[in-house]
Amino acid sequence: MSAPFYPRPRKALGQHFLTDPRILGRIADALSAAPGDTVVEIGPGRGALTDILLARTLRVVAIEVDRDLAPMLVERHAGNPALTVIAQDVLEVNLAEAAGVAPFLVVGNVPYNITTPILFHALQRPRAARAVYLVQKEVAERVVAKAGDESYGALTANVQVVAKAEMLFTVPAGAFIPPPKVESAVLRLTPLEQPLIAADEEAPYRLMVQGAFGMRRKQMLRVVRELWSLDPLAAGALLETAGITPTDRPEVLSPDDFARLLRARLQASRLTSA
C-alpha cells in the first residue's frame, strides 16, 4: 500500500505527530488494556497510535476534529468494525456516550493549547477507568505536584481530588513531526475509588479552588473571608472546623484540606439557611 499524502500539519490544531513506535507502544502499555476493551482516543491525527491500539485488538472510538485527517483514518481502516471515527471537537463529545460501554479507557496525544480543558472534560462523570495522556511536561508536573511544590496549583487540586495522577515517562521533542518547542510527558489518571468529594460537591469545589489560587499569596483567613464574604469570626470558625491553620496560604493546602474546607462551608451555610 502506498503511503497516503497527508496535508501539512495544522499549527492551530496543535498537530505534532508522534512517529516513534517504541514510545507509541509504551503509551499503549500504560493503558493496561485487555483485548476487546474500549478506548476513546482523543486526536488520533494520522493514526499512528490508533494502529497500535487496533493491532492489540482493542475497540477504538477516535475523536478527531481535523476535517481532512478524520476521513483518511476511516478510509485506511475501512471494513474494520473495531474502529469508529467521530469527526468532531472532543470538547463537544460526551466521552462515556461515545464509548457506549462501561468501563472504558481514554488515551490521547492531546493538542497542547487545550490540554487543561480536555483533562477537565474527561474527568466528568461517568469517568474512564484509566486515562493516559501525552502532554507538555510542565503540565504533567503541575498535575502530579504535591501541596507546597512550586508547580502545585488549582489544576493539581482539582485533578487529585478525584483521581490518582502519575507522570510515567518523558518524551523528547525530537520524537514528533514537527517537533514542539517543549518536552512532553506521559500522564496517567486513575479515578479514586473513593473520591475526596461527592458528585454534587465537584462544581463548588472547583469554584473554591480557582478562587483560592487566584489569591495564592494571601493567608487562608483572608482567602475564606473574600471567597464567601465572611467576617473574621465566621471565617476563623470555618477554618477551625476544617482543621486549617488561618495563616497558611492556599499553595500548602492538600486536596483533602480543600475538601474539608468545602464541607465545613456547605455545612455552615445549610445551618444558616435552616
| Residues in binding contact with ligand SAM, number by CB under 6 A | 23
The gap between the terminal CA atoms of the chain, to the nearest Å, is 71
Instruction: Name the residue nearer to ligand SAM (CB basis): 13 or 237.
Output: 13
What amino acid is encoded at 4 in this protein? P
Rounded to whole angstroms, how far apart are CA atoms 239 and 69? 52
Distances in whole angstroms, Cα of residue 149 to Cα of each of 51, 121, 136, 146: 38, 25, 18, 6
**If you search the block for the grid coordinates 497542547, which residue do you land on?**
112
13 binds ligand SAM (CB under 6 A): yes
- The cell for 91 is 470538547
Rounded to whole angstroms, how far apart are CA atoms 39 and 25? 15
Spatial CB neighbours of 141, under 8 Å, sequence gap ≥ 6 = 151, 167, 185
Residues 54-83 contacting ligand SAM, CB under 6 A: 63-66, 69
Instruction: Name the residue nearer to ligand SAM (CB basis): 132 or 242.
Output: 132
Residues 18-37 contacting ligand SAM, CB under 6 A: 18
Pick the binder of ligand SAM from 23, 45, 105, 144 (CB under 6 A).
45
In what side-by-side order are the strands of the sheet with 59-63?
Answer: 83-86, 59-63, 38-42, 105-109, 130-136, 184-191, 163-171
Listed residue (256, 259, 258, 251) closest to 148, CA to CA? 251
Instruction: Name the residue nearer to ligand SAM (CB basis): 40 or 154.
Output: 40
257 binds ligand SAM (CB under 6 A): no
Instruction: Name the residue nearer to ligand SAM (CB basis): 44 or 250.
Output: 44
- The cell for 184 is 512532553
197 binds ligand SAM (CB under 6 A): no
Instruction: Name the residue nearer to ligand SAM (CB basis): 107 or 159.
Output: 107
Q: Where are the alpha helices (H) located in 5-76, listed in sequence order?
A: 21-30, 48-55, 69-76
109 binds ligand SAM (CB under 6 A): yes
136 binds ligand SAM (CB under 6 A): no
44 binds ligand SAM (CB under 6 A): yes
16 binds ligand SAM (CB under 6 A): yes
95 binds ligand SAM (CB under 6 A): no
Instruction: Name the residue nearer to ligand SAM (CB basis): 66 or 202.
Output: 66
Instruction: Name the residue nearer to ligand SAM (CB basis): 111 or 250.
Output: 111
Q: How far is the CB of 73 from ligand SAM (least distance, A)?
A: 10
Q: Which residues bind ligand SAM (CB under 6 A)?
A: 13-18, 43-46, 48-49, 63-66, 69, 89-91, 109, 111, 114
